[in-house]
Amino acid sequence: MSRAFRSKACAALALWLACTGAAFSQTYPARAIRLVVPQSPGGSTDQVARPLAKQLGEALGQPVVIDNRAGAGSVIGTDMVAKAAPDGYTLLAVAASFTISPALYKQLPYDAARDFTPITMVSAFPNILVVNPSLAVSSVAELFKYAKANPGKLNYSSSGIGTGTHLSMELLKHLAGIDLVQVPYKGGAPSVNALLGGEVQVTLATISTALPHVKTGRLRALAVTSAKRVSALPDVPTLQESGLKDYEYSSWIGLLAPAKTPRAVVEKLGAAAARAARTPEMRTVLALEGAEPIGNSPDEFAAQVRTEIERWAKLVAATGIKAD
């Protein structure tokens, strides 16, 4: 077979695939779409995915049905979508921990970077660095000074090993050069309850979980993890403002499809999901979580996923963090 013939054949195949994908997208979706949530009902991802499914279904003209597939730290549901047909009828709702798991778990049955096509980041929300008021610090600088003078004597709670609160605190420790001891709990609420009860002295918590206790004075807020201050706590500085120049972290919820989903379908889903994320109904839901709608493009979300996978891999390599 000549090189010229192969080139013509490849060009013809590419044209055929493009035309087929475009034709498919014109009739897509023709039936209900399944949105897999790899957590139990009522979890943080599920609470965003359910109202999003309603809004997305209205935007696409077909029902979007939630399918909770919890187990093995979200691996079961995530792997199911990785192996699903790439036709746009099976989607995955994931949290930021999706980009953390590849660094901690080497035996995952899927490749986070290779086996999925990002659609959009639905929402993002920063965490708050909070301490128990019994700890005599009122700023990030004072906390770091105390931690450096008392290495290994301060405990921090996380919502579990390998979660966003775990790795984001380890990133803070790494950049600040301090030694805090992790005490993992089964979820964000138990983690904050441990801080309230004095079992630990500090934590990074979601705004929705910590804010009520900050307002009543049961917790002291030192900083937020985002690049900008948040409207719910306008007087609380960011960690960057507090001297940790390279620190920025936001939790997020996003949508993925199996790899090789037709580009035209991905773009249609991305546009519809972005619109759904910004509806008044979704804004109300997200505000309760201290979150903001994002609705970025598939390419923008894909770039962020790659960047975060690389960032957490570098952190784990540099610090020797273990999953067990």
**pLDDT tens digits for the chain (324 residues)?**
555 555 655 555 555 555 555 555 679 999 999 999 998 898 889 989 999 999 999 999 999 999 999 998 899 999 999 999 999 999 999 999 999 999 999 899 999 999 999 999 999 999 999 999 999 999 999 999 999 999 999 999 998 888 889 999 999 999 999 999 999 998 888 999 999 999 999 999 988 889 999 999 999 999 999 999 998 899 999 999 999 998 999 999 999 999 999 999 999 999 999 999 999 999 999 988 888 999 999 999 999 999 999 999 999 999 998 876
pLDDT the model gives residue 162? 86
At which residue do the structure tokens 């599920």 appear?
Answer: 46
pLDDT the model gives residue 323? 78
> What is the spatial distance between Cα 100 and Cα 163, in angstroms, rounded to a whole number?
7
Burial of 253 (0-12, 13-18, 19+ CB in 10 A): buried
User: Residue 227, Cβ neighbours under 10 Å: how many?
Assistant: 14
What stretch(es) of the chain map to CATH 3.40.190.150? Answer: 3-124+251-319
pLDDT the model gives residue 23? 58
pLDDT the model gives residue 193? 96
pLDDT the model gives residue 10? 52
**Facing residues of 180 across strands?**
154
Burial 91-122 (b: 16+ CB within 10 A, else e): bbbbbbbbbbbbbbeeebebebeebbbbbbbb
Burial of 232 (0-12, 13-18, 19+ CB in 10 A): middle
Query: What top-level class would CATH report for the domain 126-224?
Result: alpha beta
pLDDT the model gives residue 34? 98
pLDDT the model gives residue 262? 98
> What is the spatial distance between Cα 40 and Cα 69, in angstroms, rounded to a whole number?
7
pLDDT the model gives residue 232? 86
Query: What top-level class would CATH report for the domain 3-124+251-319?
Result: alpha beta
> What is the spatial distance between Cα 81 and Cα 68, in angstroms, rounded to a whole number?
12
What stretch(es) of the chain map to CATH 3.40.190.10? Answer: 126-224
At which residue do the structure tokens 């009522």 appear?
Answer: 42
